[in-house]
Structure formats: structure tokens, C-alpha cells
Amino acid sequence: MVIGTDTAWVLLSSGLIFLWALVLGVWKWQAMTTSPDGSAHPYVDIAHRAALLYSFATALIAAFVELSGWPTAVNSAAAATIVLLFVVTIANYVRLGLTRETDNQMRNPPSAMRFVLAALIIGQIGGFTVLLVGFATAHL
């Protein structure tokens, strides 16, 4: 089976995020076994779960990249935007787990948080909408 290079890159990203999730699972397990109450810091747990979910979401995105009717450049840009935002989000959760500065980043957020959330919303929903419309126009 031959797949597009853009699809291959997205699938590789999915695999790398999944591998990251497995490593984060080891960190979570270690944190749980050394904690007096048997639980990891909330953001260690969130980072692990987010990476697992985003790895499978990225694999789904690869299917839409492969089946989209848009040019490769459009599909690649849309997918890269989504995947980059997934990775940045996981990395932020890892940072919060390492620093233990909060157990809720939405409590007393920095002023830039509104911009960050808007970028996540526009980038992820917008990027996937491009791929979904590309699929629909090609196959329906």
C-alpha cells in the first residue's frame, strides 16, 4: 500500500506522540509509587492521558489527510498546525507536572492565556475543518 508523504509524516507524528505517552506513563507510575497517597501530580496524570488521546487523534488526522481532496500543501499545513498544537499542549502539561507550580492552570491564569486558548481553538478546530471539508468534497 502506498500512502502520501504527508500522511506518512502525520502517522510518524502519531507514533512519536504515542511513544511519548508510554514514557509519560512510566513517570506517572513512578510518581504514584513514591507518593504517600498513591497518586501522581495532577499534571503528570494529565500529560500522560493527553498524550495517549492526542496520539490516536493524530492517527485519525492521518486518515483525513490521506483521503482529503485538497493539495498536499493544504493538507500538510492543516495537519501540522493541529499536531504542533497537540505537542505544545502536552509539553505545557509536562512543564506544569515538573514544576508543580499549580494543580489548575486556569486558576489565576496569566493574561496571555486568552490568546493561547484562542490560538488552540482556531488552530485545532480550523485545521481539522479544512481536512474534513477536503474529505467531504472528495468523497461525497
* pLDDT per position as a tens digit, 46-95: 999 999 999 999 999 999 999 999 999 999 999 999 999 999 999 999 99
| Mean of the per-residue pLDDT values of the chain | 97
User: In the prediction, which pLDDT does 61 show?
Assistant: 98
Nearest CA among 42, 54, 63, 52 for reference residue 107: 42
The 10 Å Cβ neighbour count of residue 27 is 18
Cell of 83: 499536531
- The whole model's pTM is what? 0.95
pLDDT at 127 over 90: yes
What value does the mean pLDDT take over residues 126-138?
98
Residue 75 to residues 9, 51, 67, 85, 117, Cα–Cα distance (Å): 11, 22, 10, 16, 23
Distance CA 140, CA 57 (A): 23
pLDDT, position 1: 83
